[in-house]
Amino acid sequence: MSRIRRLALALAAAILGGLALAPTPAYAHGEETQQAFVRTSTVILYDVEFSTTSMNVGDPLVIRGKLRVMNSWPDHTVAQPETGFLSIVAPGPKFLVKKRRLNGVSTPQSVRIEKGATYDFMIRAVAKDEGRWHVHPSFSVHDVGTLVGVGRWIDVGPGEVTNPATLARSDERVDLLTFGLDRVVTWHLLGAGLVLAYMLYWLRRSVIARNALVEDGRGQSLIKRRDLVTGGVFAVLAIALLAGGYLVTRATLPEQLLPLQVARLAPPASEAPPALVESEIDRAVWDDAADELRFTVTTENETGSAVHLATMQVGEIEFGRAMRVRGDSVARPVEQTTFTVAVAGRFLREHNLLPLAEPQVRITGLLFFEDRQGREQVTEVDEVTSPVLPGGQDLG
């Protein structure tokens, strides 16, 4: 065996050995790699509540909240919102979603949505694997991607889980976690065996020597008549495997085949509660020197009770203590109030919410106002009223 071939085999063995090592779990917040304008101006999930953060395998987890398809949807950048799907995001199939509801309507499949609509959602999931998992409610929009709400760490202890269901035609009671698993494994092994044989046929030859011939312009000399015949045999075997799988399935399950269901529901949007205030962002400024984003809010109280700004949410992140209000944010009855909100630049960069290097430099999100009776109003910060000027410039 030549020295070059030994080196190639050693390198291949090292690569395969590295791939075989158990990967280190990833704990990063992958949702924060999305562009800020996608997370903040498409769909926002808010008022998210988890029924528990400690449970056992087989126990239910209920997630409730609201989602808003933003009026500030970037029409000229991403596709229009037409179809969405409610689910959860976790590090792998650690939970089994049993129920999904939007405004009380069962939505096991994708649904039709409309811009500006707000929906109450409920997700009921069951823990499948023991461990500590970071879980988010999620809403995927066709041609846009998956948007998530705030996540929670869920500690899952040992237990047992099943997913029982009754077959419609035979009334047979089965566990969907294992039903038909032997059939799935069999066909996967047959397909994998065919692919592995095809790979070994070609990989048994020297890789480096072939590359040298290709670089010299003699690549056609590598393919022999035997190779063409062998490739044809593998193609025939692949077609036979597909056809055989179809025929075997039809013969053994003649009465249990059900086509994929493509019905699209359109759950009704929530009715907006009576307005507490009229609000508008007059200007938004990024101040390099102070390393903060400032925006000026003008509110006009339309009730007989004082109303104040409780918090603001951008994307899945609620600002909380990172938001500082300068001036009096309490709007008294039949009064107009103007105040300034400042958000630390470090906080925005940490969560990838600073859009200064993106094609849409703006601030979009939700303002939450409350009165003394605990009533809440959610107001959208939209594109028209909130362009962001960098460098400490002012709109006025």
Per-residue pLDDT tens for 91-108?
989 999 999 999 999 999
> Which residue has tokens 């799907």?
85
More confident call, 49 vs 384: 49
Residues 208-224: pLDDT tens digits? Answer: 566 666 666 666 666 78
Q: Domain 30-164 carries which CATH code?
A: 2.60.120.570
Residue 51 confidence (pLDDT) above 90: yes
Domain ranges for the chain? 30-164, 181-252, 277-389
Q: What is the pTM of this model?
A: 0.80
- Burial code (b: 16+ CB inside 10 Å, e: under 16) for 45-57 equals bbbbebeeeebeb
Specify the CATH class of 181-252 in words.
mainly alpha
Half-sphere exposure of 322 (CA within 13 A, CB side): 19
- Mean pLDDT lowest among 159-168, 250-259, 328-337: 250-259
Q: End-to-end alpha-carbon separation of the chain, Å? A: 78
More confident call, 264 vs 254: 264
- Burial code (b: 16+ CB inside 10 Å, e: under 16) for 254-276 equals eeeeeeeeeeeeebebeeeeeeb
If pLDDT is split at 50, 70 and 90, which confidence band does 395 have?
Answer: very low
* Angle at which helices 181-203 and 225-252 cross, to 10°: 180
Sign of CA dihedral 29, 33, 34, 35: positive
What number of other Cβ atoms are within 10 A of residue 358's Cβ? Answer: 13
pLDDT of residue 210: 66
Correct CATH for 277-389 of 2.40.10.480, 3.40.1710.10, 1.10.10.10, 2.60.40.1580:
2.60.40.1580
